[in-house]
């Protein structure tokens, strides 16, 4: 095949489908899982620090060194099989070891993740899960009796999964050593791959549940901030209705509230979007378990409906409330801008009306001045002409008064006609300039 015909990312994208296989686990076994997230801006964290932390763990146990460019790693650390993954906001470590501790869920089973090593992690621990995998007794009720001291009975969920291939139980509580516990009892003959996928789904379920509930804290903080801004927005809208304040002042106040709401949207948009995505993964992992009821015990979906979904609805409600307030401010701002434009248009019309009146008065004054100018010029012209024609009075014997009387209308008409010609030429020149 000609490489020139292949898209440069084709092989990389196909290989990504097979880059993170689930572990192979043989019952009985113990799996410990931890996930770390940077408290701030985890999506833009320095991933080199995550790789350095993984390298430190591998070197402590003499495992094969990871590739710094990879976002996943699998290797054998002594008796433990380690699986590491780098995600958008967090990194996860899962170590599995054959056999069960002498005491159920003994914290010594997590010694591969030493306290000192966890303490220097680039982020903070958001999930810590211990899973014990054992063979299912002939009588499933016997497995239930074993779990009596492992979980809190009021929140314990026990279900058949994978069409009855395994029994899963957990109470979603954190024990005194900081671990969340799950117990799995698999039927004899269940394949290693199926057990590994089941364990992987359970730890993913808990991890994405924890990540999605980070949005609950943000929702509560946002609700408190919206409780402060909503009365201010309501007061502005009430003032718009009764014209108690100038529109420009109201628009200024509204823009201040809108700016703060937009800032809240920028600060919380990523977290709420991530919460929705993580919630969808949680439901997907639950659906993949294909759970059915075990005896009369609480099912996982029932537990999530009562304990988990209210938190997600709270986050969704805060997000919708923020969006609604942003829409209200946008509509109010548009109305205020329209009102300001109308008021300015009315002011402009008044100004134009005053300018028209002023122009009319100036035109009248101009006509008056022109009339007076005709009279004044004619007066002086008649006087000059009378002096110029005085010798003719003596020669012809005409009366000087009659001569002046005859010259006056002719002079006035001549001056009036001359001024009209000058004004006409002035207007024609002005039109040419325009």
* 421's tokens: 């010609």
Query: Residue 51, exposed/middle/buried by CB under 10 A (0-12, 13-18, 19+)?
Result: buried
Give pLDDT, residue 389.
63
Give pLDDT, residue 434.
47
List the domain boundaries for the chain.
Answer: 15-209, 215-349, 357-428
Residue pair 171/155 in contact by the 8 Å Cβ criterion: yes
Give pLDDT, residue 404.
65
Give pLDDT, residue 321.
93
Segment (H or E) for 320: helix 309-388
* 402's tokens: 């009659």
Q: What SS3 state is found at 167?
A: strand
Task: Report the distance separating Cα 83 and Cα 304, nearest Å.
Answer: 27
Give pLDDT, residue 370.
64
Give pLDDT, residue 407.
64
Q: How far is CA 312 from CA 87, 216, 220, 316, in A?
A: 22, 7, 12, 6
Q: How far is CA 275 from CA 189, 296, 312, in A?
A: 38, 32, 8
Task: Report the distance separating Cα 276 and Cα 221, nearest Å.
Answer: 18
Residue pair 386/404 in contact by the 8 Å Cβ criterion: yes
Give pLDDT, residue 146.
86
CB pairs under 8 A, 24+ apart, for 59-66?
Answer: 60/114, 60/117, 61/112
Q: What SS3 state is found at 92?
A: strand
Please list the pLDDT of the chain residue by residue as tens digits (434 residues): 556 677 777 766 666 666 667 789 999 999 999 999 998 888 899 999 999 999 999 999 988 899 888 888 999 998 999 999 999 999 999 999 999 999 999 999 999 999 999 999 999 999 999 999 999 998 888 888 888 889 988 889 999 999 999 999 999 999 999 999 999 999 999 999 999 999 999 999 999 999 999 999 999 999 999 999 988 888 887 777 776 667 777 778 888 888 899 999 999 999 999 999 999 999 999 999 999 999 889 999 999 999 899 999 999 999 999 999 999 888 887 877 777 776 677 677 777 777 877 777 776 766 676 666 666 676 666 666 666 666 666 666 566 666 666 667 776 677 667 667 766 666 565 555 54
Give pLDDT, residue 103.
92
């Amino acid at each position: 095949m000609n490489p020139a015909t292949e898209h440069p990312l084709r092989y990389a994208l196909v290989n990504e489908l097979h880059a993170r296989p689930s572990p192979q686990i043989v019952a009985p076994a113990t799996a410990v899982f931890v996930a770390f997230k940077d408290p701030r801006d985890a999506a833009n964290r320095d991933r080199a620090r995550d790789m350095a932390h993984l390298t430190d763990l591998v070197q402590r146990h003499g495992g094969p060194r990871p590739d710094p460019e990879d976002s996943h790693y699998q290797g054998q650390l002594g008796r433990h099989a380690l699986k590491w993954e780098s995600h958008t906001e967090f990194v996860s470590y899962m170590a599995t070891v054959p056999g069960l501790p002498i005491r159920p869920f003994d914290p010594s089973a997590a010694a591969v993740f030493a306290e000192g090593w966890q303490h220097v992690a680039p982020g903070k621990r958001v999930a810590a899960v211990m899973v014990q995998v054992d063979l299912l007794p002939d009588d499933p009720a016997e497995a239930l009796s074993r779990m009596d001291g492992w979980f809190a009975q009021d929140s314990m969920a026990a279900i058949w999964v994978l069409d009855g291939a395994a029994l899963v139980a957990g109470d979603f509580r954190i024990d005194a050593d900081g671990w969340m516990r799950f117990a799995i009892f698999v039927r004899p003959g269940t394949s290693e791959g199926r057990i590994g996928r089941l364990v992987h789904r359970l730890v993913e379920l808990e991890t994405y549940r924890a990540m999605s509930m980070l949005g609950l804290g943000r929702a509560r903080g946002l609700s408190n901030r919206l409780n402060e801004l909503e009365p201010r927005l309501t007061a502005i809208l009430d003032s718009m209705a009764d014209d108690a304040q100038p529109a420009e002042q109201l628009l200024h106040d509204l823009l201040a509230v809108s700016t703060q709401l937009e800032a809240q949207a920028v600060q919380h948009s990523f977290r709420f979007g991530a919460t929705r995505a993580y919630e969808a993964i949680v439901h997907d992992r639950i659906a993949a378990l294909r759970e059915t009821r075990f005896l009369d015990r609480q099912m996982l979906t029932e537990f999530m409906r009562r304990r988990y979904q209210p938190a997600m609805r709270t986050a969704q409600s805060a997000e919708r409330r923020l969006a609604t307030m942003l829409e209200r401010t946008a509509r109010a701002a548009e109305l205020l801008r329209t009102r300001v434009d109308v008021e300015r248009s009315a002011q402009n019309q008044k100004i134009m009306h005053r300018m028209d009146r002023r122009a009319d008065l100036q035109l009248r004054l101009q006509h008056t001045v022109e009339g007076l100018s005709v009279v004044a010029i004619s007066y002086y012209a008649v006087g000059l002409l009378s002096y110029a024609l005085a010798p003719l009075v003596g020669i012809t014997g005409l009366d000087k008064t009659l001569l002046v009387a005859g010259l006056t209308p002719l002079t006035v008409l001549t001056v009036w006609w001359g001024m009209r010609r000058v004004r006409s030429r002035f207007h024609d020149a002005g039109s040419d300039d325009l």
